[in-house]
Chain A
Amino acid sequence: MPQNEVIQGLDLDEYKYGFVDEEQHVFRTQPGLSEEVVRQISAQKDEPEWMLEFRLKALKIYESKPMPEWGGDLSTLEETLDEIYFYVRPQDQMERSWDDVPENIKNTFEKLGIPEAEQKVLAGVGAQYESEMVYHSLKKEWEDKGVIFDSIEDGLKNHPELFRKYFGTIIPSADNKFSAMNSAVWSGGSFVYIPKGVELETPLQAYFRVNQERMGQFERTLIIADEGSRAHYIEGCTAPTYSTESFHSGVIEIVVNKGAHFRYTTIQNWSTNMYNLVTQRALVHERATMEWLDGNLGSKLTMKYPSCYLVGEGAHGNILSIAYSGDGQHQDTGGKVVHAAPHTTSSIVSKSISKGTGRSSYRGLCKVYDGAVGAKSNVECDALLINETSRTDTYPYIEIEEKRSNIGHEATVSKVGDEQLFYLMSRGMSEEEAMALIVRGFIEPIAKLLPLEYAVELNRLIELEMEGSVG
């Protein structure tokens, strides 16, 4: 089968951002996780007492919880964790302007395309290099509107009351083992506040980057979209390839107040030796809308299920998830919607592609509590399999306690059709072009919702996958 050869030859897994900078750090903890490490992190950050207590309490919870036995294979993770540096600070000072950013960090950003993004008058670029924000700019007009877009550390320092009111309330430390870990050692991430009625047309962006062997990154983001506001936050991740396994465990908490509209976009492209275990949750109030756009392309194993807790009447949650699993990768992703108020609505659309020995699993929850009258939810999952060694799974949980609700779930699994390929090739396309076109068409419903730069990047990535595929 020539077609099979073509597919086998597709090699998009060669990591495109797999360059390595020389490490330059001012301070880092001992490898492994202990009370001492937690105390050091807190002291380094000059935190108030309550935060140290919060961290120590979370550490106890982390230690008491067993490793999850579901989802992906975490059997080698425990050893890995003993060797991870839980905190690394690359610089002493926060950088204010681009000129002050050290040259080697700039180089890294350049390869990632951040300066171009800046040139295109993208919104505020908060770039995370290793564990802290090193570069942070916020458009003047936003400052005037009262928007806060800070590093999480500055959020704690400069807005203590607002911070403490919400921090750790949407995702309690005890939610799961990794939210407990993050709560103990969090470092870096964003603090965002959108005031009442403020609408932002250009998205808020943060680039995250891990650049030190065996270093875990525990980003923590807290976002509050106040009543009637409207905004879009974009987080993109790339990381260089390293030989030993690395680890990322973020916690993202979002509050969407009455009537607000908030979208959170992640395009995750961690290198393929990375464990990526993230907890993302939004509390959605009356008539508010939360949208998660979640792209998972990289990492060795990702376990991530963005969730919407619809707690106000008429709240709406939308989750769009796209996963690509190449050789040796496992994307265990999906979404959760919890309907806890009347007339709440939600939709989950998941698309996955498994290639080579890749495995994509959809795992999701749709829960309707008694009293959530008129709740409606629809879940659709499509999986595309490229090779006979590829694998896909679907694990939806549907739990309905309310009679007056309508809930549906559908999933289909298919392979790239010979007829589709044959048709396109009969129109003069090469096999790899045809394959790329089919795959692009498959993810198009999600790609079209991305801002232009991201859609372009996603398409470029798929083309890259198809490159050199004709033998």
Chain B
Amino acid sequence: MAESTEIEGVTEVFNRTAVEARSANEPEWLAARRAHAWTVYEGLPMPTTRLEEWRYTDLRRALDLEALHLGSVDPLPDDPSSYPALLRATMDEDHEAAGHLVIIDGAVVHTDIREDLASRGVVLMPLREAIHAHSDLVEQYLATEAVPPEESKFAALNAALWSDGIFLYVPRGVRLKNPIRVTRWVGEAGAAFFSRTLIVAESTSQVSYVDEVVSDDFDTQTFASSAVEVIAKDGAQVQYVALQRLGRGAFYQSEQRTLAGRDATLDTLNVSLGASVSRVDLNARLLGPGSNSDMLGLYFGADDQHFDHNTSQDHVAPHSHSDLLYKGALDDASRAAFRGIIRVHKGAQQTDAYQTNRNLLLSEDARADSLPNLEIEADDVKCSHGSTVGQLDDEQLFYLMSRGLPREKAERLVVLGFLGEVLSRLPLGGVVEKVTRAIEEKLRA
């Protein structure tokens, strides 16, 4: 094994043996897929700040793979009373849902779906079960079109080592009134967890999905890796929401890709509030004519938190539309990087694509870096982007204070108003209140 330790990212814990252990009792196609992903992983260099995509996050300092162990994958008994307090509180806040799924550490412990939906063919189940129960669908979509291992070093690592995840399938024409709610808990400090989400919405179906990850603070670095694949077929409408509220000490990495078919709408919202280092890679691919994607993001940093959002909007088909808005406020010595790119591919005429990143610096030591990029290879398009970095608006503060609010409260209101714009664009039941409360808590701290 002396040779393999020289490959970047291969350790005593992360190696082919671990991948093979994961493959036990799995169908052959999956074992082969994991083995292939591992080969890809070994062949890719660990990203450095020399790469444009990693310019502002130095992995050599941000992540210590050597110190991590693989997290537990055995499901706990499905007993809500034994859930950690913060997890229970998080779930209690949730409004009505079409179904629930709970993941604790590396395994799904609970799943429920409304019976009327199940009878119409809606599937919500742990991915580990779906590989048997819906092997044809999973084999077709898992780590193939959306987030294949070739996508990146982290995508390959996840595809090789994932332990469990979510499979959501909505049949043709079925429309869910209430969202699917997924809650994750990470409890084991010093561990690495790999999960996947696969959402397939057949044509003209409709579904909202809210995924929240929470934890207490960790005293040693803990790694949560997530790969998210969302596929909206022709005319489907999908909303994907990810709330990240991990404790300090966590390194969070999420590789997300959405595929929108003809006239499909695929909106996403990423809220990043927790973790010490949080990295989201989101690629929206507008594959069908008339497809549409609203991409929203919100981050609020304190202490020495580090957020890095790397987004891309790929307009492959003509007449497609995308609109991105990422807003962040940064306090203390926190830092945020946003890198976004709109790519209008050859022939994608009549594209409308927009991209806006706005940052608010609340402290002398905070820092924001923004790289909004455009690459346009068609001429009949409307594209624009904007990026700003600034401080609290004195006039707004002055106005509120003139109405009798103390400065601190006025500042809180302005920050909430600034970030609230993002939430108002995707006013999903419960999400707005939940995020607002989390921001308020952070502002008070």
Query: Does chain A bind chain B?
Result: yes
Contact with B along A350-363 (1 / 0, CB 8 A): 00000000000000
Residues of A within 8 A of B366 (CB): 403
A-B contact pairs, 20 of them (CB 8 A): A370-B364, A383-B376, A386-B379, A388-B347, A391-B377, A392-B375, A392-B376, A394-B372, A396-B370, A396-B387, A398-B369, A398-B387, A402-B364, A403-B366, A405-B361, A406-B390, A407-B389, A410-B386, A413-B382, A415-B379
A residues within 8 Å of B by Cβ? Answer: 70, 368, 370, 383, 385-388, 390-415
- CB of B385 within 8 A of CB of A410, answer yes
Contact with A along B348-385 (1 / 0, CB 8 A): 01000000000101111111111111111111111111
Question: B424 → chain A, closest Cβ, in Å?
Answer: 22
- CB of A388 within 8 A of CB of B379, answer yes
Complex Cα–Cα for A404 and B390 (A): 7
Question: B310 → chain A, closest Cβ, in Å?
Answer: 14
- From A388, A394, A399, B385 is in contact (CB under 8 Å) with A394
Closest to B343 in A: A393
B residues within 8 Å of A by Cβ? Answer: 52, 346-347, 349, 359, 361-391
Question: A407 → chain B, closest Cβ, in Å?
Answer: 4
Given A400-B367, A413-B381, A393 and B388 touching (CB < 8 A)?
Answer: no
- CB of B370 within 8 A of CB of A398, answer yes
Given A370-B364, A400-B361, A409-B370, A415 and B381 touching (CB < 8 A)?
Answer: yes
- CB of B349 within 8 A of CB of A413, answer no
Closest to B356 in A: A410
Complex Cα–Cα for A413 and B376 (A): 8
- Total number of A-B contacts with CB less than 8 angstroms? 111
Residues of B within 8 A of A391 (CB): 375-377
- CB of A400 within 8 A of CB of B372, answer no
Question: B360 → chain A, closest Cβ, in Å?
Answer: 9
- From A390, A407, A412, B384 is in contact (CB under 8 Å) with A412
Complex Cα–Cα for A400 and B371 (A): 11
Given A405-B391, A414-B382, A415-B381, A393 and B361 touching (CB < 8 A)?
Answer: no
Question: A325 → chain B, closest Cβ, in Å?
Answer: 13
Complex Cα–Cα for A392 and B353 (A): 14
Residues of B within 8 A of A386 (CB): 379
Complex Cα–Cα for A393 and B388 (A): 19
Complex Cα–Cα for A393 and B372 (A): 11
Closest to A371 in B: B364
Residues of A within 8 A of B389 (CB): 368, 398, 400, 405-407
Complex Cα–Cα for A396 and B342 (A): 13
Given A385-B379, A386-B379, A400-B359, A413 and B374 touching (CB < 8 A)?
Answer: yes
Question: B363 → chain A, closest Cβ, in Å?
Answer: 6
Q: Summarize A's interface: helix, strand, loop or mixed.
A: strand
Question: A289 → chain B, closest Cβ, in Å?
Answer: 23
- CB of A403 within 8 A of CB of B383, answer no
Complex Cα–Cα for A469 and B426 (A): 49
Residues of B within 8 A of A395 (CB): 371, 373
Complex Cα–Cα for A91 and B261 (A): 67
Question: A416 → chain B, closest Cβ, in Å?
Answer: 9
Complex Cα–Cα for A397 and B368 (A): 11
Complex Cα–Cα for A387 and B378 (A): 8
Residues of A within 8 A of B383 (CB): 412-413
Closest to A383 in B: B376
Question: B263 → chain A, closest Cβ, in Å?
Answer: 23
Complex Cα–Cα for A415 and B386 (A): 19
Residues of B within 8 A of A394 (CB): 372-374, 385
Question: B368 → chain A, closest Cβ, in Å?
Answer: 5
Closest to B361 in A: A403
Given A406-B391, A410-B386, A393 and B375 touching (CB < 8 A)?
Answer: yes
Most buried by A among B362, B363, B365, B372: B372
Complex Cα–Cα for A322 and B378 (A): 21
Complex Cα–Cα for A70 and B55 (A): 13
Question: B354 → chain A, closest Cβ, in Å?
Answer: 10
Given A394-B374, A396-B371, A411 and B362 touching (CB < 8 A)?
Answer: no
Closest to A359 in B: B377
Residues of B within 8 A of A411 (CB): 372, 374, 384-386
Given A403-B361, A404-B391, A410-B385, A387 and B379 touching (CB < 8 A)?
Answer: yes
Complex Cα–Cα for A395 and B55 (A): 14
Residues of B within 8 A of A399 (CB): 367, 369
Beyond the given A405-B361, A405-B390, A411-B385, could you list 16 further A-B residue pairs with CB under 8 A, ordered by the A residue number? A385-B376, A385-B378, A392-B374, A393-B374, A396-B370, A397-B371, A398-B372, A399-B369, A400-B359, A406-B388, A407-B388, A408-B390, A409-B385, A409-B388, A410-B384, A415-B380
Residues of B within 8 A of A70 (CB): 52
